[in-house]
A and B are shown apart, each in its own frame.
Chain A
Amino acid sequence: MTGQLIISGLTIGSIYAMLALAMSIIYKASEIPNFAQGDMGMISTYIAYMILVVHGWPFWMAFAGAMIFAVILGFLFEFLFIRRAKEPNILNLIIVTLGFQLFLYGMTGWRWGSDQRRLGMPFSETDTINVGGVVISHLGVATILTSIIIMVMLWFFLSRTKLGLAMKAVQQNPMAAEINGIPKDRILGISFAISSVIGAMAGMMIAPITTLDPNMMWDPLMKGFAAAVLGGMTSLPGAIIGGYLLGIIENLFGFYVSLEFKSVVAFLIIVLVLVFKPAGILGHHYVRKV
């Protein structure tokens, strides 16, 4: 039983890991917790829904369309709003992300109403495969694989490409990066675009499990944050581990302790981590200098 719980925890944990990864990318580059992350993913998922269900085009087109939309959305968000804040302190930037979150939430509700819709994926959530007594749906396999593919691609991008190295440089020392000719703002825009794509994938993977509606991302967003905090906010591997861990812990808690209060686990984890190990599993905490 525990094995089964861990595997299904891993499935949902993959989604948390993706969201945590998306948040950590932005947090590392700008110290902004992006509260619009969830709804950016949601609206991209709606785009996929439009292409796939409403227009009836093939899945790969829906997928590509959603991803392109996510890239543009992420980049525009940074370019139009984040970059132009008058006093770009943390509070103000958090407010911008919240404002954008409300805006997207409202637009989605306005365009598609609050009906719950189904996003049909080419992977079934009812057909299962059986690995040594542990059952996992095709969709679950696809989710876990997606998260792993994203990780590998991100790792390759950050460590093997020029753009990725520039991104790392901006994350570590924005001023030095700028002096060396790296356009800091543009890199930040690209970070937002990448994170938006990862968030959109998470949205598409979670839509078949829950349903597609304007409220679908609140809970995952919170879990993504919890996972990111657990991993240390500034560490990408930490975010991934945090995501998987949270998924597993949550599932075990739901079975052995209380199913009703399963969703409070994330809150407990955030509080415990922040009180006892503010740096998370793999992050590092630093103190302001006077």
Chain B
Amino acid sequence: MPMLKVSHITKTFGGLKALDDLSFSVEKGEIYSVIGPNGAGKSTLFNCINSIYTPENGTISYKGEEITNLSSNGVASLGIARTFQNIELFSRLTTMENLMLGRHLHMKTGLLASASMWWRGSKAAQEEIKHREKVEEIIDILDLQAYRDKFVSQLPYGIQKMVELGRALCMEPDLLLLDEPAAGLNNEEREDLIFWIRDIRDEFGITVVMIEHNMQMVVDISDRILVINFGKKLAEGLPEEVINHQEVINAYLGQP
């Protein structure tokens, strides 16, 4: 059974078809990249998987279960995490608090438990301690120690991207959707990122679906690549196959 199966989804905005009868599936443990020119519908695809948009046609299923009509938080609770193209951090919270939100689904503290956090042994305090320890592991992996108690809006762009990745990892997802994780990073940060994405898959066994424009990086780490243009599938396959695919070259460089 595939980890993620998208079948024949269509999403239109006004008259524009952002996704047009698109189908593909991602196997467990893959690093699967989605590429395509600007406006090809890549982010719309993520937003459909994430239930921010509902496609007009077609279905999306995750581990064999249909998720097309779930709410966004319902999708998240099944173990799908994501990052955003234009960073969507909680800007007035610290790095630690942002990452703790990644633990939201793993925690239980409700209003009453929270109000009664008066001593170390209280349920809420115990839970906070436990999950902060878990977050600290992610902070260690991503080298974010220096920024732990800083407000994220004051962090440099590259670090914010890492915090966003960390926040998604804190959810301990089975499927991770990365929307242009390397955009705006410098070479060094990008090298680190490649290393981490491999690690995420190898160490944690998380399946990764990634939208990315940097071809070098895509070819380097992807197991398979999907190329879309005008919301349609142009090609799908191993990296070498895809970059030599005639239609792909045409779409990127124009018809000769």
The CA of A248 and the CA of B46, in the complex, are separated in Å by 48
The CA of A290 and the CA of B86, in the complex, are separated in Å by 7
How far does the Cβ of B54 sit from chain A's closest Cβ, in whole Å? Answer: 12
The CA of A33 and the CA of B90, in the complex, are separated in Å by 26
In chain A between 259 and 290, which residues have their CB closer than 8 angstroms to a CB of chain B?
A: 290
Query: What's the interface size class on B, roughly?
Result: under 10
* CB neighbours of A290 from chain B (8 A): 43, 47, 52, 84-86, 88
Q: Mark B38-73, 1 if CB is under 8 A from A, else 0.
A: 000001000100001000000000000000000000
Residue of A nearest to B53 (CB): A287
The CA of A107 and the CA of B12, in the complex, are separated in Å by 53
How far does the Cβ of A290 sit from chain B's closest Cβ, in whole Å? Answer: 6
How far does the Cβ of A90 sit from chain B's closest Cβ, in whole Å? Answer: 16
* CB neighbours of B88 from chain A (8 A): 290
The CA of A50 and the CA of B177, in the complex, are separated in Å by 67
* CB neighbours of B47 from chain A (8 A): 290
The CA of A290 and the CA of B53, in the complex, are separated in Å by 11
Residue of B nearest to A290 (CB): B84
Residue of A nearest to B52 (CB): A290
Residue of A nearest to B86 (CB): A290
* CB neighbours of B84 from chain A (8 A): 290
In chain A between 229 and 262, which residues have their CB closer than 8 angstroms to a CB of chain B?
A: none
* CB neighbours of B85 from chain A (8 A): 290
The CA of A290 and the CA of B48, in the complex, are separated in Å by 12
The CA of A290 and the CA of B47, in the complex, are separated in Å by 8
Residue of A nearest to B84 (CB): A290
Residue of A nearest to B47 (CB): A290
How far does the Cβ of A51 sit from chain B's closest Cβ, in whole Å? Answer: 50
How far does the Cβ of A172 sit from chain B's closest Cβ, in whole Å? Answer: 16
A-B pairs with beta carbons under 8 Å apart, 7 shown: A290-B43, A290-B47, A290-B52, A290-B84, A290-B85, A290-B86, A290-B88
Contacts from A to B (Cβ < 8 Å): 290
Contacts from B to A (Cβ < 8 Å): 43, 47, 52, 84-86, 88
